[in-house]
Amino acid sequence: MNFIELRPGKSHEGDDIKAFRTEGKSQKWNYLMAGTHGDEVEGVYVVQKLFEWLKEEDILDFPLIVIPILNVDGYRAGTRVNANGVDLNRNYNATNWSPEAREAKYNPGASALSEPENKYLVKLFEKFPPKQILTFHSWKPFINYNGDCKEIAELLERYNGYEVCIEIEGHPTPGSLGSLVPEKYNSPVLTFECPVLSDELTLNQIWEENRVGLETLMKSDLIN
């Protein structure tokens, strides 16, 4: 697949937020993204490896936008939050956004969509409307979906055995991407939670346990 680099966004500290799209035009776009939380390197690595594979696959041709790292300041610093101390996945302008935070690490910001990283992403959505979004995180291995993408979740589950769920009990996510996109753009969001690094688990092992499922998905009618 051939990709064109889009005009980058700017982080809170002024660094580039890179984004890429496939050639051609489309009314709707698949999104592949990672690094919403800067300390979740596992999801960033998996998207990096998948992106490398996609660039080598000449037979694939579907509208796709890739954002390798949304929270570039947090990724550089190794922090969940951005350089303004905000959890980007609690800062979207969904109707359930709340100024209250259960814990400091879930700081939603001074107002909904206050952060430049999220403003950039929403500008991309306005210019390239999402068909569906695959966003990669890391916590414990499971696949959470919002909207009509159960088939994608179940396909991936067949390969990696991760639990599939719609809601995470005891873990509300006001102002999240999964709240915003189905509501405002009528498009589903699949949140892919990778396992975290440990003495027994490397980044490459995390990729390898997901490689076949993700490559199969990219070749399937669910994406193409």
DSSP states along 138-179: EESSEEEEESS-HHHHHHHHHHH--EEESS-TT---TT-HHH
The C-alpha atoms of residue 212 and residue 159 are separated, in whole angstroms, by 7
Residue 170 is predicted with a pLDDT of 62
Q: Report which secondary-structure segment, H or E, holds 210.
A: helix 203-219
Query: Six-digit token pair at 218?
Result: 């990219």
- Which residue positions in the chain have pLDDT lower than 70? 169-170
Residue 169 is predicted with a pLDDT of 63
Residue 224 is predicted with a pLDDT of 77
Residue 171 is predicted with a pLDDT of 78
pTM tops 0.85, yes or no: yes
Residue 206 is predicted with a pLDDT of 98
CB burial of residue 200 (10 Å; 0-12, 13-18, 19+): exposed
CB burial of residue 139 (10 Å; 0-12, 13-18, 19+): middle
The C-alpha atoms of residue 125 and residue 16 are separated, in whole angstroms, by 18
Averaged pLDDT of the chain: 96
Residue 108 is predicted with a pLDDT of 98
Residue 32 is predicted with a pLDDT of 98
